[in-house]
Amino acid sequence: MGYKVAVVGATGNVGREMLGILAERNFPAEEVAALASRRSQGTECTFGDRTLKVKALEHYDFSDVDICLMSAGGAVSKEWSPRIAAKGAVVIDNSSAWRMDPDVPLVVPEVNADAVAGFAKKNIIANPNCSTAQLVVALKPLHDRAKIKRVVVATYQSVSGAGKDAMDELFSQTKAVFTLDEIQSKKFSKRIAFNVIPHIDAFMEDGSTREEWKMMMETKKILDPKIKLTATCVRVPVFVGHSEAVNIEFENPITADEAREILRAAPGCLVIDKREDGGYVTPYESVGEDATYISRIREDATIENGLSLWVVSDNLRKGAALNAIQIAETLINRKLIQAKKKAA
């Protein structure tokens, strides 16, 4: 018997990717429901070679849903995830609403798959922020070998991380530059076309942004609370694919060659690191791919036991949709959930 899966936010960047990945991976779904706001009710979305009619979240009956993949933002999740969970569906949420809740596991299967077992307290599992997901996939195998003390990371985050309206804004601003039309900014606080913006999410009292705080706190929760991390998160005019320049200080010695070898064998990682023109991965090449790509691995001679690397991944996949579906697969493979009996 297959599972009934509901995708909430099915018309969004992440939701569309979720439908694509469910079909691609032959997820054992007997039925998939595409849900979004009332605005989208009756519109269509693609699921493999089928078309699904979008239904409104507020009118949907979740009684026979087994797994709800939620990607409709924090406010919607805060209101709806507990209600859906109370109907007996496991909610895997992409927003930041539940990530730091001690009763909600925050999971990247390559890193802390065992944590999924804690889902039953609230019937909710949280997916990390897109920048955190790809970072911890790269850090985990290195941490296991040489114990990470501190990480300094600068991100180069694509506009798709801010939703479909943000992608439209980059597109229309870019066009406006060439047609000499007025440039309008709604999603971003400054023009994003042919520019970079060192500001993602709200400012906090200490001068950092919530995106930077999330990377720090989520890395601690997923990987190790002892790891110190400082981030500068920057939005760049790239449609899809997040990049990160990462500097790591370890407790124990580790060479660039050792790191390369460890990362080559690590789950979810793909090392492309030729020290020549083009011998590295850029976000454009990561689009539509599942891997976290690691390039530019080198020793940092300015600190003891230091390494620098470049980490790139498709933020809509490993950073969101793929990770959520891998969590659902982990629940199924470990027999932690069973499909409900469906009404005939």
Ligand X SMILES: NC(=O)c1ccc[n+]([C@@H]2O[C@H](COP(=O)([O-])OP(=O)(O)OC[C@H]3O[C@@H](n4cnc5c(N)ncnc54)[C@H](OP(=O)(O)O)[C@@H]3O)[C@@H](O)[C@H]2O)c1
Catalytic residues: 130, 242
From the CB of 270, what's the least distance to ligand X, in Å? Answer: 19
The answer to the question of residue 297 lying near ligand X (CB under 6 A) is no
Nearer to ligand X, 87 or 150 (CB): 87
Contact 104, 125 (CB under 8 A): yes
The answer to the question of residue 130 lying near ligand X (CB under 6 A) is yes
The values of phi and psi at residue 314, to 5°, are -75, 110
- Rounded to 5°, the CA angle 161-12-340 comes to 115
The answer to the question of residue 76 lying near ligand X (CB under 6 A) is yes
Gap between the Cα atoms of 219 and 234, Å rounded: 18
Structure tokens belonging to residue 246: 């990462």
The answer to the question of residue 155 lying near ligand X (CB under 6 A) is no
Gap between the Cα atoms of 84 and 273, Å rounded: 45
Nearer to ligand X, 146 or 325 (CB): 325
Burial (CB < 10 A; 0-12, 13-18, 19+), residue 278, is exposed
Taking CB under 6 A as the criterion, the residue among 47, 66, 85, 94 binding ligand X is: 94
Q: Which residues, at least 6 apart from 38, have a Cβ–Cβ distance to it below 8 Å?
A: 56, 58
Nearer to ligand X, 107 or 142 (CB): 107
Which residue in 153, 311, 166 sits closest to 218, CA to CA? Answer: 153
From the CB of 214, what's the least distance to ligand X, in Å? Answer: 10
Gap between the Cα atoms of 94 and 99, Å rounded: 9
CA 91 to mean position of chain CA atoms: 16
Structure tokens belonging to residue 190: 């400054």
From the CB of 73, what's the least distance to ligand X, in Å? Answer: 4
The answer to the question of residue 312 lying near ligand X (CB under 6 A) is no
The answer to the question of residue 319 lying near ligand X (CB under 6 A) is yes
From the CB of 237, what's the least distance to ligand X, in Å? Answer: 16
Taking CB under 6 A as the criterion, the residue among 19, 90, 320, 328 binding ligand X is: 320
The answer to the question of residue 73 lying near ligand X (CB under 6 A) is yes
The answer to the question of residue 315 lying near ligand X (CB under 6 A) is yes
Nearer to ligand X, 238 or 259 (CB): 238
Number of residues located near ligand X, criterion CB under 6 A: 29
Nearer to ligand X, 164 or 191 (CB): 164
The answer to the question of residue 219 lying near ligand X (CB under 6 A) is no
Candidate segments 83-91, 157-165, 283-291, 300-308, binder of ligand X by CB under 6 A: 157-165
Q: Which residues, at least 6 apart from 149, have a Cβ–Cβ distance to it below 8 Å?
A: 227, 228, 249, 250, 251
First-to-last CA distance in the chain?
13
Nearer to ligand X, 8 or 229 (CB): 8
The answer to the question of residue 39 lying near ligand X (CB under 6 A) is yes
Contact 283, 291 (CB under 8 A): no
The answer to the question of residue 227 lying near ligand X (CB under 6 A) is no
Gap between the Cα atoms of 22 and 15, Å rounded: 11
Number of other CB atoms surrounding residue 219 within 10 Å: 26
Taking CB under 6 A as the criterion, the residue among 22, 67, 71, 142 binding ligand X is: 71
**Interface ranges with ligand X (CB under 6 A):** 9-15, 36-37, 39-40, 57, 71-74, 76, 94-95, 129-130, 160-161, 163-164, 315-316, 319-320
